[in-house]
Every structure is written in C-alpha cells, then in structure tokens.
Structure 1
Amino acid sequence: MSAHVEEVRLNLGHIELAAHLFGPADGVPVIALHGWLDNANSFALLAPQLKGLRIVALDLAGHGYSEHRPAGAGYTLADYAHDVLRVAEQLGWQRFGLIGHSLGAIISVQLAGALPDRVSHLLLIDGVIPPTSGEQDAAERLGMALHAQLRLDGKRKTVYASIEDGVEARMKGLVAVSREAAELLAQRGLMPVPGGYSWRSDSRLTLPSPVRISEAQAMAFVHRLKCPACLVVAAEGMLVRHTALLEQLPFEQVTLPGGHHLHLNDPQGATLVADCINRFFGFS
C-alpha cells in the first residue's frame, strides 16, 4: 500500500467526522477505529504497510478533528457503532472489514455482533469486550457517573506551555506510549489555546460510564460473529493477563511483543502487526 494519505470529512447528518483515507480505490473496504483519547494517527505507521485494503481511519466523535457530540449527549458504544454504520452507508459499503484498537476493537465487536451480515473481516488489536459489571452495582455506578457529570462543569482543560509539554504528558498518560507515538497523536490532538496548547478531545470522554453490561451480555456479541476474526494480543498489553477471557474467545489469536500501542509505538511493532493483518486478509 502506498504511504499516500488523503484527509477527508464525512458529514453523517447528526455529526461530522474527520478521517484518513489509505489504499487503492478498488481495495477491500475497511474502517479502522482507534482507541480511547487517540485519533486516526493511531494507524499512521500501520496503514501504509497494508496491502490490498481501502482503509478509512476515523477520528471517532469527540477525538482528533471530528466534531464533539452536542451538549447533553454522551459517548456510548451504541452511538459509536451507529457512527461507523453511517460512515459505511455514506461510502456505499454494504459489507466492510473492521480494524479496531482498544476502544475501537470493542466498538468493532459490538457492531459486528449486532449486524453480523454487514462485517466481512474483524481484526482486533489488544481489545475485545468493554469492562463489565454485575447487576448489583448498577445503581451505585449511575450515581457515581451523575456526580462526575456535575463536577465536570467546573473543570478546565489542562493548558501546556508548549507542544513538547503536551507530548510528554501523553507519554505518561493512563496508558503510556512512546515519544514517537505521542508526537503522532499530538499532530491531530493538540490545538493552540490562550496560554499554550490543549488536547482537542471532548472532556466528557473522561467521564465514567453510567451503565455497564454484564460479561454474559458482552460475550453475546462475540458469539454472534459470523465473519473471520483475529485478535492481536500485546505481550505487555492490557489483555494478556485476562487468560480466562482469552480462553473463551472462539477465534484466532496472535501474541506479539510490545505494549498496548504496539502498532504505533515504533516501526518494528507496526511491521509485525501489519504482517499479521496482511496474512489475515489474504495479502501476505
């Protein structure tokens, strides 16, 4: 695949999303979904190494150059899945593949499980199902989320004196990334504000979810999949310790060296993941 990338904007009616477009026009249609608080540059090292794919790498709503949801709205998995489906509809893609990392992998599983006839391939990078909870925690979780929403009104985003300060903050984030990864994410994520720079992402993305489904509900999406599926497990990532979950998954798994952002942290990791994806799509 050529390293050429095209910047596009997709007006879905209810929201406008930004995206990167890679690959030949007649390639296998694929939508790529990044992780929480990342953006389309999550695939900047990976996508140019893929073969035979027409990839639309989205900035998910509230991330990167995409619009934020309206006041009073939230960021549920169902809303993200609806956005992705609208993108496919706008592109005229009746069937399409999904490549998802972390949150993007979770969204991919939910959409492919909900509408199994629409998804042709499912490639997941260190993510499968959302955090789950028992029904006994439902009321407490909603209360916690409501309090957090009220507190958010009085909070201001962190302003960094320089781009370098913002990059270093991302390197030390909840999920640490390499400097190269942080710099790539900052290209679409940092914006100038009075006094310096701030991350573009919607502050509501940091709010706790008011509702969590049970593990049985989450696995129902997995068991409804019809398409070929492959999970890339990062050897030093977030899934490797969840052996009970991994043993339940009815599809191919490949463990590769690296952390949660193994496809972005360095060129070597991106190449390993790209080789896996090319083989999975039949272009090795």
Structure 2
Amino acid sequence: MTSFILPHELVGDGTHKVLAVHGWFADRSAYAPLLHDLDTGALQYALVDLRGYGEAKAAAGSYTIAEAAADLLDLADRLGWERFSLVGHSMGGSVAQRVTALAPHRVRRLVGVSPVPASGLPLEPEAWELFSSAAHRPENRRAIIDMTTGGVRPAAWLDRMVARSLACSDAKAFRAWLDSWAGGDFHERLQDCRVPALAVTGALDPALSAELMRRTWLTWFTRGDLVDLPGAGHYAMDEAPLDLIRTVEDFLRADDGTPETAPARHDA
C-alpha cells in the first residue's frame, strides 16, 4: 500500500486530539451538523476524507479497512499526534477499531457511532443485493437510509442524504468498500483490549443496534460502554446532533491524559 495523505480539516485548538472518520454514505461533511457546537477549546478534531470520498474521491486504492487504518496512522504521524482519540461512524467505526488493533498504545479513547463491528456485518442474500447494487442505484441508497432510520424521516431529508452520498463518493470505491466493512473480520485482535471504548447506537436503527453491540463491542473491550440514543437511527449526526455531542464529548473529556495500560501492538 502506498502512502497517501488523507485530505482533512482541523477543527478546534485543544490539546486532546481526535481523528473523526466518516461512514459509507458520506465524506467528512457527515460531521457538518456538529461543527458549531463542539468543544473546540479542549479538543481538536481532524475530520478526514477516506479514499474514494470528498477531496479524495479520485484517489486510487484498495478501499479496505486495513488501508484506511494505515492512512489514518500516517496522518497522525504527519500531524505530530503521538496519542489521540478516535471517533468513527458506521464503516468509519470499523476503521477506528482497526487503528486501535494496530496501535492501542497510541489511542486514548475510542468512540463508535453506530459502528460496524470488527467482526463485519454479514448480510442475507436479499440485503446483499440491496447494498451491493447501491453504488449505481440511488433508490437503493434511499431504501437503506430509510430502513436504518426507522422509516420515519421526511422524504425531503432522505432525498438530500442520497444526493449528498452520490455527490461525495466514487461509485467504484463505494462498491469496493462494502466488501471490506461487511465481510472483514479482525475482532480477535481486539480481544481484551483495555482502550476505553464507547459505542453509541440509535434506537431506530435495526441493523447496528444496541443488542448487536452487546454481542460484539462489549465482549471485546474490557473498558467498553454503550449509549443508545432513543431519538436517533443510524445517522445520529443529523438526527440528534446535540445529544450525540454531549454523549461523545463527555466520554472524551473523561480522559485526563494519563496513558492507559494497553495490550502489546499486533501486526496487521
């Protein structure tokens, strides 16, 4: 894998550094609804575009979780961030877990917002057809967003989410990413991980639910925790931004900067 500098935007001036990773349907603009209300005094966020998205839409790559984790660690090095926290949404949650598996000694705290588990997300044949065809079928993207937000969101919002997704992602990369986040499995590298790790789910999301996190996330992280937001589905940044900020930043600020005892680094 060749070194690639992920396009990124720095938000805030705080000493606690945070890498924020978007999901399958959006670039770093996924975090736009949060920007005005973040704690930019205590925290500094690096919002990134993964390969195939946003400013990296034309970037070549394998479009895998492993490649993205290596890209993030390279970016942290270039920023001079020896230790940092991670926030990852959906597919980005899988990327954040992979970074933690690679370099637990560097990760202060980990937050997954409706995160795809490190064990992947096996899909039944009908669901696989829906997801795998979404790269070129906007109606499939709309159906997925509608399903994972409980079928209760306005039609105009669904249309806007689809339009953003189509504009910010490369179709070939979008399809390739699915194979990695849905079919990958590296959870054994996280067994008994002591990095404090919070999973934030939305009660309206049937796919990446609190119950799934109890069977996965909470069994791997010895200091794992779970918050289920009652008014949100899969897209808490859009659906419940203030609740999400409070939940995530309270968790991040609980770190006083003292290094945690973490497992030895695993090669991956």
Q: TM-score, normalised by structure 1?
A: 0.68
Checking the alignment, whether the CA contact within 8 Å between 2:22 and 2:90 is kept in structure 1 is yes
Checking the alignment, whether the CA contact within 8 Å between 1:19 and 1:58 is kept in structure 2 is yes
CA-to-aligned-CA distance 1:45-64 (integer Å, 9 cap, x gap): 12432212100111111011
Higher helix share: 2
Letter of the 2:196 counterpart: P
> Matches of residues 148-167 of structure 1 in structure 2 within 5 Å?
none
Checking the alignment, whether the CA contact within 8 Å between 1:113 and 1:223 is kept in structure 2 is no
**Residue segments in structure 2 that go unaligned for 5+ positions in a row:** 123-127, 255-268
CA-to-aligned-CA distance 1:233-272 (integer Å, 9 cap, x gap): 111122225253365254111111210002223xxx0100
Letter of the 1:68 counterpart: A
Distance 1:75 1:276 in 2: 30
Checking the alignment, whether the CA contact within 8 Å between 1:65 and 1:189 is kept in structure 2 is no
Distance 2:9 2:38 in 1: 14
User: How far off is 1:275 after superposition?
Assistant: 0.6
Checking the alignment, whether the CA contact within 8 Å between 2:199 and 2:217 is kept in structure 1 is no
* 1:236–1:95 Cα change, 3 Å: same
CA-to-aligned-CA distance 1:12-39 (integer Å, 9 cap, x gap): x733432222112x43111100101311
Q: Which residue of 2 aligns with 1:228?
A: 196
Q: Tell me whether 1:21 sits opposite 2:10 in the alignment.
A: yes
Task: Percent identity, please.
Answer: 22
Distance 2:140 2:32 in 1: 17
Letter of the 2:233 counterpart: G
Checking the alignment, whether the CA contact within 8 Å between 1:39 and 1:59 is kept in structure 2 is yes
Checking the alignment, whether the CA contact within 8 Å between 1:20 and 1:58 is kept in structure 2 is yes
Letter of the 1:252 counterpart: D
Q: Which residue of 2 aligns with 1:201?
A: 170
Cα RMSD (Å): 3.3
Q: Tell me whether 1:102 sits opposite 2:90 in the alignment.
A: yes
> Matches of residues 206-225 of structure 1 in structure 2 within 5 Å?
206-207=175-176, 209=179, 212-214=183-185, 217-218=186-187, 220-225=188-193
Checking the alignment, whether the CA contact within 8 Å between 1:230 and 1:254 is kept in structure 2 is yes
> Matches of residues 38-77 of structure 1 in structure 2 within 5 Å?
38-51=26-39, 52-70=42-60, 73-77=61-65
User: How far off is 1:68 after superposition?
Assistant: 3.3
Distance 2:161 2:179 in 1: 28
Aligned equivalent of 1:244, options 211, 215, 232: 215
Checking the alignment, whether the CA contact within 8 Å between 2:26 and 2:164 is kept in structure 1 is no
User: How far off is 1:109 after superposition?
Assistant: 0.8
Distance 1:92 1:170 in 2: 41
Checking the alignment, whether the CA contact within 8 Å between 2:218 and 2:225 is kept in structure 1 is no
Q: Please say which of residues 201-210 and 54-63 is displaced more in the overlay.
A: 201-210
* 1:221–1:236 Cα change, 3 Å: farther
Q: Which residue of 1 aligns with 2:236?
A: 262
Distance 1:48 1:226 in 2: 32
Higher strand share: 1
Larger Rg: 1
Distance 1:100 1:113 in 2: 14
User: How far off is 1:172 after superposition?
Assistant: 1.5
Checking the alignment, whether the CA contact within 8 Å between 2:118 and 2:184 is kept in structure 1 is no
Distance 2:7 2:193 in 1: 28
* 1:132–1:31 Cα change, 3 Å: same
* 1:201–1:68 Cα change, 3 Å: same
Q: Which residue of 1 aligns with 2:145?
A: 175
Q: TM-score, normalised by structure 2?
A: 0.72
* 1:57–1:261 Cα change, 3 Å: same
Distance 1:47 1:90 in 2: 23
Q: Which residue of 2 aligns with 1:84?
A: 72
Checking the alignment, whether the CA contact within 8 Å between 1:39 and 1:189 is kept in structure 2 is no
Distance 2:200 2:141 in 1: 22
Distance 1:200 1:227 in 2: 31
CA-to-aligned-CA distance 1:56-78 (integer Å, 9 cap, x gap): 111111011214343xx421111
Checking the alignment, whether the CA contact within 8 Å between 1:64 and 1:189 is kept in structure 2 is no
Distance 1:181 1:50 in 2: 25
Distance 2:208 2:9 in 1: 27
